[in-house]
């Protein structure tokens, strides 16, 4: 789901992406950083920037969840956000990618096409790790073995995106599973580890960077080597 604040503009793409692995950062701190970077990207003060991060546990509540009166169980910390969608769990063992990108290329003429590109990007990254990711008609995102492991939620201003997508690789037992996110029942969303795939944060991050250019026509400004493979548990 997406909150739109799109204005028509002529977009001149840069060919590279500044990839920043900023480690563990609170959601509040990252939200403020995203806002600052979005303004800088709109003004062409920076190139497209990808933030890679993990958060302490928090459930973000989007406009749809607020309209529908949805809340996680009482033992979850929550924060209201301005991206589209419902409830999204964040926490350890989840890689969050925030693309502060100026979209508008040939295959980026609508929000739907941008979401589709991000889905394919995640699917291609999982393929590097010998994991088959798929789309599912129940909800946008990426699914593995019938379970959702990737959520996508963006907001836009002048075609520059904020917020992003998550990939659950090794989340704490039942924490993401107990949150009914985006209108889906509890236990629909899970992690790769719970499905039997052992994937490290580094391997997942490198797979996303390695597949960036072929998936979304942007070149990371670093060289990635020795991408790890998953093992089946």
For the question of residue 30 being annotated catalytic, the response is no
CA-to-CA separations, 71 to 16, 32, 78, in angstroms, rounded = 39, 24, 9
Quote the pLDDT of residue 59.
92
At 138, the pLDDT band (50, 70, 90 cuts) reads confident
Quote the pLDDT of residue 7.
36
In a domain, 198, yes or no: yes
In a domain, 63, yes or no: yes
In a domain, 182, yes or no: yes
Tell which phi-psi region holds residue 212, choosing left (phi > 0), alpha (psi between -120 and 50) or beta: alpha
Number of separate domains in the chain: 1
Catalytic residue among 9, 30, 150, 182: 182
CATH number, domain containing residue 128: 3.30.930.10
In a domain, 41, yes or no: yes
CA-to-CA separations, 225 to 28, 53, 123, 207, in angstroms, rounded = 32, 20, 19, 10
Provide the domain limits for residue 34. 2-218
In a domain, 225, yes or no: no
In a domain, 229, yes or no: no
The rounded distance, in Å, linking the Cα atoms of 88 and 86 is 7
Is it the case that residue 101 has pLDDT exceeding 60?
yes
Mean pLDDT of 203-224: 89
In a domain, 68, yes or no: yes
In a domain, 233, yes or no: no
pTM of the predicted protein model: 0.86
Is it the case that residue 36 has pLDDT exceeding 50?
yes
Quote the pLDDT of residue 4.
38
DSSP state, 171? P
In this structure, the number of other CB atoms found within 10 A of the CB of residue 154 comes to 24
């Amino acid at each position: 789901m997406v909150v739109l604040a799109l204005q028509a503009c002529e977009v001149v793409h840069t060919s590279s992406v500044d990839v920043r692995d900023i480690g563990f950062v609170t959601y509040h701190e990252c939200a403020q950083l995203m806002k600052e970077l979005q303004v800088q990207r709109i003004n062409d003060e920076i190139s497209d920037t990808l933030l890679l991060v993990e958060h302490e546990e928090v459930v973000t509540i989007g406009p749809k969840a607020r309209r529908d009166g949805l809340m996680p169980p009482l033992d979850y910390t929550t924060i209201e956000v301005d991206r589209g969608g419902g409830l999204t769990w964040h926490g350890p063992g989840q890689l969050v990618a925030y693309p502060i990108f100026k979209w508008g290329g040939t295959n980026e003429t609508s929000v739907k096409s941008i979401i589709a590109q991000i889905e394919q990007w995640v699917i291609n990254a999982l393929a590097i790790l010998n994991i088959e990711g798929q789309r599912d008609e129940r909800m946008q995102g990426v699914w593995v073995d019938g379970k959702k492991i990737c959520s996508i939620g963006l907001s836009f201003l002048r075609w520059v995106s904020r917020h992003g997508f998550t990939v659950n690789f090794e989340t704490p037992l039942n924490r993401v599973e107990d949150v009914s996110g985006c209108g889906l029942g509890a236990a629909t969303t899970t992690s790769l580890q719970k499905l039997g795939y052992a994937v490290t944060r580094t391997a997942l991050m490198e797979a996303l960077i390695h597949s960036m250019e072929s998936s979304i026509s942007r070149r990371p400004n670093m060289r990635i080597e020795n991408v790890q493979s998953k093992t089946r548990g």
